[in-house]
A = this chain, B = another copy of it.
Amino acid sequence: MEARAKRYTSIGREAAKPGVVNVNPIQRGGLLTAEARKALQEFGDGYSMCDFCLKGRIDRIKKPPVAGFLQDLASFLGMDVVRLTNRCRDAIFVALMGLKRSRGSSVVVVDSNAHYSTYLAAEAAGLEVVEVPNTGYPEFKVRLDAYQRAIEEVEEERGEPPVAAILTHVDPHYGNLSDPRPVAEICHEHGVPFLLNAAYTAGVMPINGKELGIDILTSSGHKSWASSGPVGILALSSKLAEDVLVRSERFPNKELYLLGCPVLGAALATLMASFPAVLERVKRWPEEVEKARWLVSELERIEGVRQLGVRPKEHTLICLETPGFHEVAKKHKRRGFFLYEELKKRGIVGVQPGLTRRIKLNTYGLSWREVEHVARAFQEIAEKYGLEVR
Chain A residues engaging chain B, CB cutoff 8 angstroms: 1-2, 4-9, 11-16, 24, 26-27, 30-32, 35-48, 50-54, 64-65, 68-69, 72, 75-76, 86-87, 89-90, 93, 97, 116-117, 119-121, 123-124, 129, 221-223, 227-230, 248-251, 254, 256-257, 259-260, 262-267, 269-270, 272-273, 275-276, 279-280, 349-350, 352-354
Closest to A2 in B: B279
Cβ of A230 and Cβ of B124 under 8 Å apart?
Answer: no
Cβ of A51 and Cβ of B262 under 8 Å apart?
Answer: no
Cβ of B230 and Cβ of A272 under 8 Å apart?
Answer: no
- Nearest chain B CB to A130 CB, angstrom units: 13
Q: A5-B72, A86-B90 are in contact. Are A260 and B45 (CB under 8 A)?
A: no
Closest to A36 in B: B44
Residues of B within 8 A of A26 (CB): 47, 50
Closest to A5 in B: B276
> Within the assembled complex, what's the spacing in Å between the Cα atoms of A35 and B52?
27
> Within the assembled complex, what's the spacing in Å between the Cα atoms of A1 and B86?
26
Most chain-B CB neighbours within 10 Å: which of A42, A250, A259? Answer: A259
Q: A16-B48, A86-B230 are in contact. Are A260 and B117 (CB under 8 A)?
A: yes
Residues of B within 8 A of A123 (CB): 248-250, 256
Residues of B within 8 A of A32 (CB): 44-45
Cβ of B269 and Cβ of A266 under 8 Å apart?
Answer: no
30 chain-A/chain-B pairs, Cβ below 8 angstroms: A1-B76, A8-B65, A9-B35, A9-B276, A11-B42, A15-B51, A24-B50, A36-B44, A40-B266, A44-B266, A53-B352, A54-B352, A54-B353, A86-B86, A86-B87, A87-B259, A87-B263, A93-B259, A117-B259, A120-B254, A120-B256, A120-B259, A120-B260, A123-B248, A123-B250, A222-B263, A229-B263, A230-B230, A230-B262, A230-B263
Partner of A46, one of B9, B68, B223: B223
Residues of B within 8 A of A259 (CB): 87, 89-90, 93, 117, 120-121, 124
Residues of B within 8 A of A38 (CB): 9
- Nearest chain B CB to A38 CB, angstrom units: 8
> Within the assembled complex, what's the spacing in Å between the Cα atoms of A193 and B270?
39
Closest to A257 in B: B124
- Nearest chain B CB to A10 CB, angstrom units: 8
Closest to A276 in B: B5
> Within the assembled complex, what's the spacing in Å between the Cα atoms of A48 and B11?
11
Residues of B within 8 A of A53 (CB): 352
Residues of B within 8 A of A269 (CB): 11
Residues of B within 8 A of A8 (CB): 65, 69, 272-273, 275-276
